[in-house]
Structure 1
Amino acid sequence: MFSIRTPLAAAILATTLSTSVMAEDNSSPESVELDAVSITAARDDRVSKGAIGLPLSLKETPQSITILDDEAMDLYDASGTNDALKMMNGIDVQEYETNRTSYNARGFEIQLTQVDGLGTSNDYGTVLGQQDTFLFERIELVRGANGLLTGVGNSSGTINYVRKRPTNEDEAEILFTLGSYNQVRLGVDGNKVLTSDGRWAGRVVAVQENKNSHIRDLETRRTSLYWVVDGQVGSNGILTFGSSFQNSEQDSPMWGSLTLNYANGGYADFDVSSSPSADWTYWNSKSRNMFVEYLHDLGSGWEAKASVHANSYDGQSRLLYAYTLGGGLNDDNTGLVGWPYAGYTEKSSIVFDVNLSGEFEAFGNYHSVLVGVSQIEDENTTYNRPVLSGGFLPYPAFDDYDGDDYPEPEFGLKEKRGDGEKSLSRFYASSRFGLSDTLNLIAGVNVIKLKREGSSIYGSTTESTYYPDLEEASPYAGLTWDVSDDLTTYVSYSDIYQNQDNGDINGDYLDPMKGVNYEAGAKAEFFNDRVLATFAVFKAEQQGVAIVGGQREDTTTYYVPADVNSKGFEAEIAGELTEESNLAVGVTRLRVTDDNGDNTSTWIPRTVWKARYDSVLPFAPAVRLGAKATWKSDAYKENENKQDAYMVVDTFAAYTFNDQAKLKLNVDNILNEKYVTGIQSGAIYGAPRNANLTFNYSF
Structure 2
Amino acid sequence: MNQTIRFDALQDVQAILPSPELPARAPGAAASPASSLGLLARAPGAFAPAMSPAASSLARPCHATATRMSWLGKLRQRRWLARTGPRLGSLVLTAASTLAAQTATPPTADTLILDKVVVTARREHRTSKGATNLPLSLKDTPQSISLIDQDALRDFATTGTNDALRLGTGLTVDAWETNRTSYSSRGFDIMLTQVDGLGMTNDWGLVVGQEDTTLFDRIELIRGANGLLTGVGNASGTINYVRKRPKNHDGGELVVRTGSHDLRRAALDYNQVLTASGSWAARVVVAHEDKDSYLRALQDRRTTLYGVVEGQIGSAGALTAGFTFTDSLQRSPMWGSLTLMRADGTQAAFDAAASPSQDWTRWALRSANAFIEYAHTLSPDWEAKLTYNHRTGDEAVKLFYAYSLTGTLNADHTGLLGWPYRSDSESRSDIVDASLTGHFHAFGRRHEVISGLSLSQQKTYSEFYSILSSPGAVLPAFPYAGDVYAEPVWGATSVGNDGDQKLVRFYAATRLALTDRLKAIAGLNTINLKRDGTSIYGGGVNLDNETTEKVSPYAGLTYDLTDNLLAYASTSDIFQAQDQRDLNGRFLAPMKGVNAEIGLKAEWLQRRLLTTVAVFDARQKGLATEAGFDPVAQQSYYEPKDVKSRGFEFEATGRVGAHTTLTAGFTRMELTGPDGNDIYEWIPRTIVNLRADTRLPGLPKLKLGTGLRWQSDIFKTGAVRQDSYLLVNSFAAYELTNAATVRLNVDNLSDEKYLRTVQFGAIYGAPRQFSLALDYKL
Structure 1 residue 441: Cα displacement: 1.4
Aligned AA (2:424): Y
Distance 1:164 1:85 in 2: 18
Where do residues 525-604 of structure 1 align in structure 2 (5 Å cutoff)? 525-552=603-630, 553-604=632-683
Cα shift readout 1:487-509 (whole Å, capped 9, x = no counterpart): 11101111100111111222221
Aligned AA (1:200): W
What's 2:736 paired with? 657
Where do residues 287-302 of structure 1 align in structure 2 (5 Å cutoff)? 287-302=367-382
SS in 2 for 1:386: strand
Structure 1 residue 43: Cα displacement: 12
What's 2:596 paired with? 518
Distance 2:512 2:447 in 1: 5
SS in 2 for 1:341: strand
The 1:134–1:126 alpha-carbon spacing in structure 2 relative to 1, beyond 3 Å, is same
Distance 2:535 2:612 in 1: 39
Cα shift readout 1:592-650 (whole Å, capped 9, x = no counterpart): 11111111111111001111121112222221111111111000112232200111111
Distance 2:557 2:332 in 1: 52
Q: Does the CA contact (< 8 Å) of 2:496 and 2:535 recur in 1?
A: no
What's 2:434 paired with? 354
Structure 1 residue 5: Cα displacement: 7.2
Distance 2:76 2:252 in 1: 24
Cα shift readout 1:259-287 (whole Å, capped 9, x = no counterpart): 11112201001000000000010100101
The 1:48–1:412 alpha-carbon spacing in structure 2 relative to 1, beyond 3 Å, is farther
**What is the percent sequence identity of the aligned residues?**
47
Distance 2:676 2:240 in 1: 33
Cα shift readout 1:232-268 (whole Å, capped 9, x = no counterpart): 1000100000100100000000000111111220100
Distance 1:681 1:543 in 2: 23
Instruction: Decide which of 748, 764, 777 is 1:685's aligned counterpart.
Output: 764
Distance 2:401 2:471 in 1: 11
SS in 1 for 2:218: strand
Where do residues 594-673 of structure 1 align in structure 2 (5 Å cutoff)? 594-673=673-752
Q: Does the CA contact (< 8 Å) of 1:439 and 1:480 recur in 2?
A: yes
SS in 1 for 2:621: strand
What's 2:160 paired with? 80
Instruction: Decide which of 158, 177, 187 is 2:257's aligned counterpart.
Output: 177
SS in 2 for 1:543: strand
Distance 1:418 1:90 in 2: 35
Where do residues 307-386 of structure 1 align in structure 2 (5 Å cutoff)? 307-386=387-466
Let me know the Cα RMSD of the aligned residues: 2.2
Is structure 2 residue 194 aligned with structure 1 residue 143? Answer: no
Is structure 2 residue 267 aligned with structure 1 residue 187? Answer: yes
Q: Which runs of 5+ in 1 are unaligned?
A: 10-20, 30-39
What's 2:193 paired with? 113
Instruction: Decide which of 442, 454, 477 is 2:555's aligned counterpart.
Output: 477
SS in 2 for 1:385: strand
Instruction: Decide which of 305, 311, 317 is 1:237's aligned counterpart.
Output: 317
Q: Does the CA contact (< 8 Å) of 1:531 and 1:573 recur in 2?
A: yes
Distance 1:252 1:636 in 2: 28
SS in 1 for 2:247: coil
TM-score w.r.t. length of structure 2? 0.84
Distance 1:41 1:200 in 2: 21
Where do residues 122-161 of structure 1 align in structure 2 (5 Å cutoff)? 122-161=202-241
Structure 1 residue 551: Cα displacement: 2.3
Q: Does the CA contact (< 8 Å) of 1:5 and 1:47 recur in 2?
A: no
Cα shift readout 1:301-326 (whole Å, capped 9, x = no counterpart): 11100000111110000001111112
The 1:85–1:443 alpha-carbon spacing in structure 2 relative to 1, beyond 3 Å, is same
The 1:208–1:56 alpha-carbon spacing in structure 2 relative to 1, beyond 3 Å, is same
| Number of equivalences | 676
Q: Does the CA contact (< 8 Å) of 1:665 and 1:691 recur in 2?
A: yes
Q: Which is worse superposed, 403-412 or 273-282? A: 403-412
Is structure 2 residue 525 aligned with structure 1 residue 446? Answer: yes
Distance 2:402 2:119 in 1: 57
Q: Does the CA contact (< 8 Å) of 1:43 and 1:166 recur in 2?
A: no
Cα shift readout 1:456-478 (whole Å, capped 9, x = no counterpart): 79x85735134631111011122
What's 1:464 paired with? 542
Instruction: Decide which of 388, 391, 397 is 2:468's aligned counterpart.
Output: 388
Decide which structure has greater helix share: 2
Aligned AA (2:591): M
Cα shift readout 1:292-346 (whole Å, capped 9, x = no counterpart): 0000011151110000011111000000111111221111101111111001111
Distance 2:720 2:666 in 1: 25
Q: Does the CA contact (< 8 Å) of 1:187 and 1:207 recur in 2?
A: yes
Structure 1 residue 149: Cα displacement: 1.3
Distance 1:241 1:674 in 2: 45
Distance 2:534 2:637 in 1: 14
Q: Does the CA contact (< 8 Å) of 2:143 and 2:570 recur in 1?
A: no
What's 2:288 paired with? 208
Structure 1 residue 56: Cα displacement: 2.6
Structure 1 residue 42: Cα displacement: 12
Q: Does the CA contact (< 8 Å) of 2:541 and 2:586 recur in 1?
A: no
Structure 1 residue 584: Cα displacement: 1.1
Cα shift readout 1:480-535 (whole Å, capped 9, x = no counterpart): 10111111110111110011111122222111100000100111111121111111
Structure 1 residue 24: Cα displacement: 5.2
Distance 1:217 1:417 in 2: 29
TM-score w.r.t. length of structure 1? 0.93
Distance 1:370 1:591 in 2: 35
The 1:649–1:116 alpha-carbon spacing in structure 2 relative to 1, beyond 3 Å, is same
Distance 1:623 1:101 in 2: 35
SS in 1 for 2:152: helix
What's 2:7 paired with? none
Q: Which runs of 5+ in 2 are unaligned?
A: 1-14, 16-73, 91-117
Q: Does the CA contact (< 8 Å) of 1:333 and 1:398 recur in 2?
A: yes
Aligned AA (2:595): N
Aligned AA (2:179): N
What's 2:577 paired with? 499
SS in 2 for 1:541: strand
Aligned AA (2:339): T
Larger RCO (CA under 8 A, 6+ residues apart): 1
The 1:28–1:613 alpha-carbon spacing in structure 2 relative to 1, beyond 3 Å, is closer
What's 1:674 paired with? 753
Q: Does the CA contact (< 8 Å) of 1:537 and 1:568 recur in 2?
A: yes
Distance 1:537 1:190 in 2: 43
The 1:57–1:328 alpha-carbon spacing in structure 2 relative to 1, beyond 3 Å, is same
What's 1:15 paired with? none
The 1:169–1:85 alpha-carbon spacing in structure 2 relative to 1, beyond 3 Å, is same
4+ residue runs over 4 A deviation: 1-9, 24-29, 40-48
SS in 1 for 2:137: coil
Aligned AA (1:78): T
Structure 1 residue 6: Cα displacement: 6.0
Cα shift readout 1:77-115 (whole Å, capped 9, x = no counterpart): 111101100011010000111000000000000011011
Aligned AA (1:686): G
Distance 1:146 1:535 in 2: 19
Distance 2:640 2:421 in 1: 29
Q: Which is worse superposed, 562-571 or 497-506? A: 497-506
Distance 2:337 2:535 in 1: 22
The 1:178–1:390 alpha-carbon spacing in structure 2 relative to 1, beyond 3 Å, is same
SS in 2 for 1:82: helix
Q: Does the CA contact (< 8 Å) of 1:8 and 1:358 recur in 2?
A: no
